[in-house]
Structure formats: structure tokens, C-alpha cells
Structure 1
Amino acid sequence: MTTRHAVISGASIAGLSAAFWLKRTGWQVTVLERAEEFRDGGQNVDVRGVAREVLARMGLTEAVRALNTTETGTVFVDAVGKVIAELPSDGPDGATAELEVLRGDLARAVLDHLPAGVEIHYGDLIAEVDERADAVAVTTAAGRVLRADLLVIAEGVRSTTRDRLFGDQVDRRELGIAMLFGTIPRTADDDDRWRWHTTTGGRQVHLRPDNRGTTRAMLAYAHADNLTNLDRVDLLARVRDHYAGAGWETSRVLDGFDTSPDVHLDHLTQIRMPTWRRGRVCLAGDAAWCVTPMGGGGASLALVAGYVLAATLSSAALSSAEPDTGLAAYEEWMRPLVKDVQQLPRGIERMAFPRTRFGLTTHNAVLRALTSPVLKPLMARFTQVAGSDRPLPPISTPLTSTPPTVDAADPSTVE
């Protein structure tokens, strides 16, 4: 009997969580990552809801806690930096979560604790997939030919492999919001809070502390043109024009972005699909269900997905080589969690990104009301994501099978 083989495309949180748990349950695991090396850095993510239990089962709670960004709370400020409202940060799932870390730090924690034997190939990506009833043959851009019992696509919201294999089943929902991220120098006026400024024209400015002695900055604005085809100079010039007169720390952020090493633009796009699986191929993380920062909880869902995938596959009656039962159970368990996060409150975009002076006044009045002692419990519910009353599925003992063979000279040949 030969160990089952899983190929995972994507080495961020979803892909590494799947690698961790599939290896734990007895699979041979190969991870492909198109980036030339591990991608450190990134913006804040957090571990919420049932993801905290997954992290505990990985034995990584304290390791992740030690990587905390140092952020202690979330406040809304006006054009001169005066606090006008503060979001509740009580308990592990407040606006600033108990386990608040940078994306790269969370992914690195999982990477550094992968079980022995997980293979990771950087600078390589899937070029071709040959699906058969009893195997998946993956050919990479570097010429690797990998025989697999399972292919997990965890490439992110703009996954090319997902688009190639699932085509018109991919429902992209553009939210009309652009977010520009970057790291800028910290100043003496920065503190340990997430400071959030909203102004007219559907514009927001965010500053957040990190654990590197720098500050993570974000500019978010609504009804944005798609600027992804612009080079860095033209992109920043366009954004600078759009943010003229925005007030507060806007000029500092724009000046910082001119030299920031990691400026990144994202046009928020939800991904919705009628199914996350076909034969021996399944999707995980943003490739399957991107919830965007507007919904929140993407990192938590990614962590949970890896565990649930491995657990359902290990528990299914896989006396044959068919993974259908396990993959169906994986999708059934995850869908309610994802659906809850993807359903944004009606009118949230217009309220969060006011266009006019009147809209801004209304926005600030609503914020003050929702964060008042009377309505604070209601506001706290908006940060409760990735929660579930259902117990996590149990993980069973490793399963093995005799995989088919693939002629390395002809990957289309599956015996």
C-alpha cells in the first residue's frame, strides 16, 4: 500500500493549513508556490471563532500570540485626529482580536511547524492538469510531473488554475472598493490603536501598529476605477489626486507610499461558487470563497478549511480511491461558515464610504450611536466571524491506497 499523494497549489494560509493537516493524517504532500520565495509581511489578519480551536490543535496558539502586532483597540478619528468613536475590543473576537498578527507572520508560523516530509517548491506553478477518474496528473511550468490522488487549489482570489478548471462557475462580485496597502515609517504620534479616518468622496485612511517598529497604512475608497494596469508611479499619482483634501494623515501616507517596499493595490472582489470540488480537485481559501476585508475573517476561514478538509477525508469511508464522500463533507461543513461572512449587511458600502458632507455627518452619528453603552453589544456582533456551534469534525487515522502510475515522459498517460 502506498501513501496517498496531495498536490497543493498555493503556500499561504489556506494551502499551508491543508499541507499541515493532510500530512498529519498520513498523506504525502507537495506544495507549489509561484512566488520565488516565502512571502513575508502583509497587512493585519486575525484568528477568530472556531479557527482558534484549530490553531490550538496545531499547537501554535502561543507561537502566534507572540507575533501579535501590538494593536490594542480600534478608534475612528476626525480630520484633526480626535477620537469620535471606539469599537468594542473586549474578548478574543473584538474589533482588534486577541490573536492579531500580520498575514506573513501567521503563514510563517504554520510553515515553520509543518510536519516533516512536506515538500514545497517555490518559483513554480501549475501549467496543466489532466483529470482522470482514478488520478490527477499535474504538470508544472518548471517541467515537474506530479501524480496525485488530490489537487487542492489555494491560489487566492485571482487563481488561474481555478479559472482554468471551473470556468463559468466562478461568480466574481466586484464591490467597487479599492484598497491600497503599504508599510510606512512609524512616528512619535503613532500609538497602539488602529486609527480609522473616514471623509467625503467615499474615502478612508487607516493606520495600524505592527511588531516591526513601522506602521501599516491603508487607503480605501469606493467607486474606484480599476487601476491594476497602471505602473507604480502612475498609480500613486492617480490616488494622490483622488485623496486631495482628505485631511488627517493622508499626506504622510501618500508620501510614505512613494518609498514603501510593499505597496499593494486590491480591488475587492468576492468569489462565490456553486461547488468547490470536482472529481479529485477541490478549492480552499480565497480561491473558493474570497470574503474580502469588508467581510473579514478570511485568514480564520483559511485555517479552518485545511483542518476540515483533512478531517473529512480521513473520516470518510475511502476503501476505494474515490474522495467524493470526504470532499462533499468538507464542503457541507464549510459552507455555513462562509455564507455567514459573505452576507454583508444591506447598505454597508454606502454607510462605510459616505460621498457627501451630509453622508459623513450621518456616518459619524451612526457610529457614535452604535458604540454607545446601550448599543455596544449589538456593534460587537459585527466582529463575530468564523464562529460555529458545531464541533469540528474528528480526525481519523491515516488512510493509504495504491495510486495509479503516470508516465513521466507523457503526463497524459494515467494507468
Structure 2
Amino acid sequence: MTDVLISGAGVAGSTLAYWLARAGLKPTVVERSRGTRSSGNPVDVRGPAVPVAEAMGVMPALREAATTATTMSLLSTSGRPVARLATPAARGRRDEVEIPRADLAAILVEAARPHAEFLFDDTITALHPDADGVDVHFDRAAPRRFDLVVGADGLHSTVRRLTFGPEQDHVHHLGLYVATLPLPRPADNPHEIALYNIPGRLASIHPARGSAIAAFIFRGPPHPDLDYRDTPRHRRIVLDAYADTGWRVPHLLDALRETDDFYFDAVSAVRLPTWTRDRITLVGDAASCVSLLGDGSTLAMSGAHTLAEALTTHADMSDALRAYEQRHRKLVAPKQRNVGIAAAWLVPKTRLGITARNLSAKAMRG
């Protein structure tokens, strides 16, 4: 096996391309966008992703682009801090990095670019696997044949849809929505993440780097007909959800009205009985999206490394893909089991729940 097609130039795809090329394989990355793209939300590189980043030589660049947040402040309904928690950076955890997702993706693409072929502004339209490889049709490029195709194309994966069937069969709404947007100015405090809750809704301001980022995370029922590309409808959903909210939310909603540069999606879990069919497999959010508190990027990097390692240490591809899945599911499974706990802490359903969460945060700090 030499030729591997990776769909998606995000965190998982670029990491995988780097490690496959380093092992002597020929990775090609196809990306729908014209260049590196991301929502810009702060994400974490920690735990099993840290040695992967260190071995790639990108940790200095990640630390240089890291956010400056050292404190997470939980606010009362009047906007007064009622509890503060230190971030890993404030606790001296140099082995953990919080970084805007756009910067992480760009750094990983630059690490992989000298070693892999990138096809930007294109996408896969059809996959025809057989026992020896996969014939791939693209929207723009000429058809090509690959030994393996890897879907690293996120929650709304094209590869997963073409291989395993409709998205609704595998993507499970967790009762939350998230929207984020860059603000036109820096945060008042460049070291503080401010979290404001009312029952079922969270609004926050993250200092990020330079301009701050606003985030809305709120509870709501599924919208079966929701198109993740329908920006005007996304805006209406957020405006309706926060119409009667205090603190600085009215100003954040004004910023939302004035920009098209924002991210919106349902918080979801991807669950499949297997990540592989024939010579097509999945990695990152396409295989097992669980991200709510920044774990998605860590799992994407570690999963991509595990897949590359399996492909280069097993002579038989079926054995390699089976070994990758067995090993990486051990990391994914507890995250998927605990996502409800994380949601309850971040967005309590009731005022009593908010009070209990704030008291527990005070106890953690003390």
C-alpha cells in the first residue's frame, strides 16, 4: 500500500498526512474549502495528543499561538463573579495547550504540506471500493484510484455518508447547540474566560488572542430539517434563544447580527458499530465526534497517529484497521459516556442546578 486519500485538511487529516508521509506512504488530502478553515473556537491539545505534537516538532508553534486565559469566572445573574477556576496554563501545565482551532489547523497543515499533496477547493463525489483499492471521483479533479480512503472530514462527513449511509443514522443530537463568533475588540481581561448562565443557556466571552470570541451554548430540541450551511436560520435560532437574556448578551447579539463569520451546529455524538468498510475508514469527528469541552482535537490528533502507526506496523490492511479501531475506541468510549456530565456542568437546566454548579466550583477552588 502506498497511496492514501484523506478527505479533510483539519486537525485529524493533516496529522494523519504527516505521519503517513513520514512512514514512506503517499498521502493526498482533499479539502472542500479553498484553504485551511476552522471555526476558530479555542480547543485543547493535551493528554495523548501532546507526545504526537512534540514528535511532529510543532509544540513551540502551538505554545506561541496559545490563548492567554488563566482563569475561568462563573458569573451571577448580575454579572458578578461568584467562582473562579484556574486553567491548566495557570496551574503550570506546560504539557497542555489551549489554542484557537484555526491556528491549530494551520500549524498542522504547514507541518504536513511539504510531505503530502493537497487538493483544496474540491470534494469527493463518489467512492467505488473493491478488494484492492478505491476508485474515487471528485467534483473538480480527474478520477483517481487509491489503496485506502480515510474520512477525516468532520461531523458532517462526506466519506461517512457515501460509505455508511445518511447522516441521521449515525449522528445523535445531545440536546445542545453551540454558536461562536469573533468580536471586534479584545476582551476586557485578556486572561479571563467569563461564563454567564441562565437555565438552559450559557453565554461566554473568551479572550482568545487579539480579538475575543463570544460563545453561545444552549439547550433545544432537534431540528430534523436543519441545514448546517443555512447561516440566516442559524442566526435566527440564536437570537430567539437569547432574546430575553441579561449581562452583556444584548451586545453580543448585536455583533451576531452584523457578522457572517460565525459557527453554528448541534452538539452531537457520532456512533457507528465500525469505522471501516472495505478499504474506507474514518478518523476524528467523522468517526466518533464527542467534542464539547475541547476534547475533539486531542482525540483527532491521537486517533490519526494511532491509525498511521497501525497502517505502518501491520502487513495486512484489515489487521491494521482493526488494530487502530480497537485501540482508539478505548480513548473515545469514556468521553462519549461522560459528555452528559460535561453538558450538565456547563449548561445547567435549572436555576438550582446553576447554584449547585457554582458551589461545587467554589469547593474545587478551595
Please say whether Structure 1 and Structure 2 have the same fold, judged by a TM-score greater than 0.5.
Answer: yes
* Higher gyration radius (CA): 1
Deviations 1:375-409 (A, max 9, x none): 459xxxxxxxxxxxxxxxxxxxxxxxxxxxxxxxx
The amino acid across from 1:339 in the alignment is A
Q: Tell me whether 1:244 sits opposite 2:235 in the alignment.
A: no
CA distance in structure 2 between the partners assigned to 1:11 and 1:60 by the alignment: 16
Report how many residues are paired. Answer: 363
Partner of 2:265: 266
Aligned residue for 2:52? 54
**Which residue identity is paired with 1:23?**
A
Hey, what does 2:318 align to over in structure 1? Answer: 324
TM-score, length of structure 2 as denominator length: 0.91
Among 135, 139, 145, the residue aligned to 1:147: 145
The alignment status of 1:130 with 2:128, answered yes or no, reads yes
TM-score, normalised with respect to structure 1: 0.81
Task: Give the C-alpha shift of residue 24 in structure 1.
Answer: 0.5
Range with bigger deviation, 76-85 or 218-227: 218-227
Give the distance between the partners of 2:362 and 2:247, measured in 1 at CA: 22
Cα distance between partner residues in 2 of 1:249 and 1:101: 24
Structure 2 counterparts to residues 85-104 of structure 1, below 5 A: 85-90=83-88, 98-104=96-102
3-state DSSP of counterpart to 2:292: helix
C-alpha distance in 1 between matches for 2:196 and 2:64:
29
Q: Which structure carries more helix by proportion?
A: 2
Partner of 2:312: 314
Structure 1 residues 242 and 188: alpha-carbon distance in aligned structure 2, compared to 1, 3 A threshold? closer
Q: 1:369 maps to what in 2?
A: 360
* Cα distance in 2 for residues equivalent to 1:148 and 1:39: 25
**Shift of the alpha carbon at 1:236?**
2.9
Give the equivalent residue in structure 2 for 1:6: 4
2:176 matched to 1:185? no
What's the CA shift string for 1:92-133, capped at 9, x where partnerless?
A: 999998411111101111111226341101111111111111
Q: Which residue of 2 is the match for residue 121 of structure 1?
A: 119
Aligned to 2:76: 78
- Taking a change above 3 Å as real, the CA distance of residues 234 and 304 of structure 1, as seen in their structure-2 partners, is closer
Higher relative CO (CA 8 A, sep ≥ 6), structure 1 or 2?
Answer: 1
Is residue 7–residue 31 contact of structure 1 (8 Å, CA) maintained in 2? yes
Whole-Å Cα distance in 1 between the matches of residues 117 and 141 of structure 2? Answer: 16
Does the Cα contact within 8 Å between 1:301 and 1:338 map onto a contact in 2?
yes
Percentage identity across paired residues of the two chains: 31
Aligned pairs for 1:211-360 within 5 A: 211=209, 213-224=210-221, 226=223, 228-229=226-227, 232-233=231-232, 235-293=234-292, 296-316=294-314, 318=315, 322-344=316-338, 349=343, 352-355=346-349, 359-360=350-351
Would you say the 8 A contact 1:71–1:96 is kept in 2? no
